[in-house]
Amino acid sequence: MAVSTPQASGQRSSSRAFGLVVGLALLAFACLASLWVGAKGIPFTATWDLLWHNDGSSEAVIIHDLRVPRTLLGLLVGAGLGLGGALMQALTRNPLADPGLLGVNMGASAAVVVAIGFLEITTLTGYLWFALAGAAVAAVLAYLLGTAGHGSAAPERLVLAGAAVTAVLFAFVQAVLLLNPLTFNQFRFWDVGSLASRRMDVVAQVAPFIVAGVVLALSQARALNALALGDQAGKALGAHLGRTRALVAVAVTLLCGAATAAAGPITFVGLAVPHAARLLVGPDQRWVLPYSMVLAPILLIGSDIVGRVIGGAEEVEVGIVTAIIGAPVFVLLCRRRKLARL
């Protein structure tokens, strides 16, 4: 059996760090492309100049009022979904898990339906807080059901409880939408998943939640490595199982609840990106989590750019593009190699 030497371990860490730097460079390039590419063609040199010197022209308004908030939101939402997906897969020890298993996405959807259908709130900034609250309530309910009677949140119990909460909320959402066509007409624009028409106030509202979720998630990397060995081994290594799972559940709720509230449900980002990260760096969560946090915004912002280009004046929403791009890429990864173990 091969023995890992300190020199080999140091080389692996160096290569992983270099890969993360490359990822950050690609993310910076994607952000610049997001500021440059759009329905209105603005030369790159003019885009760069207007980014730092707002002269009040129509091009400057497009860049500062539309593309900058859209790009920043893509960064936040992508990081939240990628990191949340990695956490959920580590928590359940299942590489096919996604944040929706805790009921976060459906909780946000149910709250938005209530805000639109019963409270007549029709603006994004108005029902964003409802989406955040709905995601939190659904996740807490799933966690309480998953720990009821046993006192420990075993992965399989959390998945079953989340599936039950999701099923109930899905039935509620569908019932309201079928009975109220006006609610459906408003809800569908949020439900498709989009970064368009989001202003800086939306970015400011969701940023604290996602930043808090990132800090909490990264702090649990070592504990998740211990849990990956199994409950008994994790306890022997000093991991506090219940506390770690509770903190991870809170982090998933903050990250994915805020991301879903701001952009709507976006599929495949939280599922495919952590899997790709494990293929690159292995199962060590100290690297999987940062890689997922960097790779996911690249995918999301890149998909948003593709949606602007292929749609012309009528853009294709990013939620549609990520599904079209993400599904085949994920299938290809699965076919080329076995699912990366956790």
Q: Is the dihedral of CA 193, 129, 253, 178 positive or negative?
A: negative
* CATH class of the region 70-336: mainly alpha
Return d(Cα 302, Cα 83) in angstroms, integer.
18
| Residue ranges covered by each domain of the chain | 70-336
Q: Is 82 left (phi over 0), alpha (psi -120 to 50) or beta?
A: alpha
Q: Would you state the pLDDT for residue 174? A: 94
Averaged pLDDT, groups of 10, the chain, 342 residues long: 58 89 96 90 89 88 93 96 92 78 88 91 83 89 78 70 91 93 88 89 93 95 86 73 86 91 89 90 94 96 92 82 80 61 52
> What does pTM read for this prediction?
0.89
Q: Would you state the pLDDT for residue 9? A: 67
Quick check: 105 and 266 in contact, CB under 8 A?
no
Three-class DSSP labels, 222-253: HHHHHHCCCHHHHHHCCCCHHHHHHHHHHHHH
Alpha helices in the chain (DSSP H): 6-36, 44-52, 58-61, 68-92, 104-117, 124-147, 155-179, 181-191, 200-219, 221-227, 231-236, 241-263, 269-281, 285-311, 318-336
- Tell me how far the alpha carbon of residue 24 is from its chain's centroid: 17
Q: Would you state the pLDDT for residue 337? A: 52
Quick check: 142 and 103 in contact, CB under 8 A?
yes
Q: Find the distance separating the first CA and the last CA of the chain, reported in whole Å.
A: 21
